[in-house]
Amino acid sequence: MHLFAFPGPGETFSPRLRSVLLHSSPVMHVHWNPVRQGRLALSCGGQAMYLWSEEWIGESGAEEEMAECVGIPASAFNPHHHSSSVGAQAPLVSNLFREI
């Protein structure tokens, strides 16, 4: 997945590549946070969620981009929908349990 930055209104149109997220499986679902637009949640249909944020504060105190994988400890977890919690502070995931 390629994430680009686009200029605002009135600025010269010159998009730039911000981040590249590489996954071993196809990305199935993506959700931007509607309130905090610098946050993205995505899944590849397995037992994990992947989060990207431009709101990370690095050790130097400067704002940085970061991505992380959050494992979901459920043997039959298969996320199929992302949304945001009330106040958009955290991603919500609904799942589809497969029959065993």
CA distance 43 to 46: 7
Q: Look at residue 17 in the predicted model and tell me its pLDDT.
A: 93
- The string of pLDDT tens digits covering residues 30-83 is 888 777 778 888 888 778 888 888 888 888 888 888 999 888 777 666 665 555
**What b/e string do you get for 23-50 counting C-beta neighbours within 10 Å, with b at 16 or more?**
eeeeeeeebbbeeeeebbbbbbeebbbb
Question: Greatest CA separation found in the chain?
Answer: 56
Q: What is the mean pLDDT of residues 21-28?
A: 88
> CA quadruple 17, 70, 90, 25: dihedral positive or negative?
positive
